[in-house]
Amino acid sequence: MKMKITSIPPELPCCELTAQRRRNLLMVAKEALRNAVQHAHATREAVRQRAHRRCEYCRFPEHVSNLPFHVEHIVASIHRPDNSLLNPAWACPRCNLKKGLNLSTIDDQTGQQVHLFNPRTMVWHNHFAVGNGCIEGITPCGRGTVRLLDMNAENRVAHRRKLIEQGTGQPVDAR
C-alpha cells in the first residue's frame, strides 16, 4: 500500500494556516499513514499465520501460488464494518474473487439457501473432505461453498493431486 502525502490543500475552509502549521499537519498525516500501514501489515501477518499459510476455504498452500494471497473479509464491510481479527480470512485469489460479497449460496442437493463456510466459526473437516484431489462438500454449507467457489475446477484438482502426491497438499486441520 503506497500512498504519498506531499501537501495539504491550501484552501481549507474557515481557516488560514501558517506555513509552520501546514508542516505540522503534514507531519501528523504522514505519521498516521505510517501507523495505518504498519497496522495493516501486522494484521495481514497475523491472519496469514493463523491460517498456516493456506487458503482457509480450499486449503491451497500459499507457497505454490504465483499470486499473492488476500486478507478476505468473511463478512464484507458493505454488510457490517468489522476490523477485528475475527472477520478476516486468508484466501487464495481464486476463492476470494469467487466469494466476492456473498454470505450464502444454494445447496444443489436440497435447493435450500445455505450460509457459506465461515473459517472463524466452523471447522473445515466437518464440512469438507478431500478425495482424489477433489474437495467434497459433506454438508449443505460445504456443498454450496464448493460449488460457489468452484473449488474443483479442472486445473485446481490436477494441481491438488500433484501436491498430495508430493505430500504437501493435505488440508491442515485448523479452524
53-93 pLDDT, tens digit each: 999 999 999 998 999 999 999 998 888 887 788 899 999 99
Between β-strands 104-106 and 113-115, what pairing exists: parallel, antiparallel or unpaired? antiparallel
Residues 36 and 122 in one domain: no
Give the single-character DSSP code of 87: S
Q: Any idea which residue has 495505518 for its cell?
A: 36
Residues 36 and 65 in one domain: no
Asked if residue 171 belongs to a domain, the reply is no
Residues 40 and 60 in one domain: no
Strand, helix or coil at 128?
strand
Residue 175: its pLDDT value, please? 44
Query: 24 is in which domain, residue-wise?
Result: 1-50
Asked if residue 175 belongs to a domain, the reply is no
Task: Note the pTM of the prediction, 2 decimals.
Answer: 0.76
Calpha distance 40→112 (Å, rounded): 37
Residue 174: its pLDDT value, please? 43
Q: How many domains does the chain have?
A: 2
Residue 7, pLDDT > 80, answer no
Domain boundary among 12, 33, 50: 50
Asked if residue 10 belongs to a domain, the reply is yes
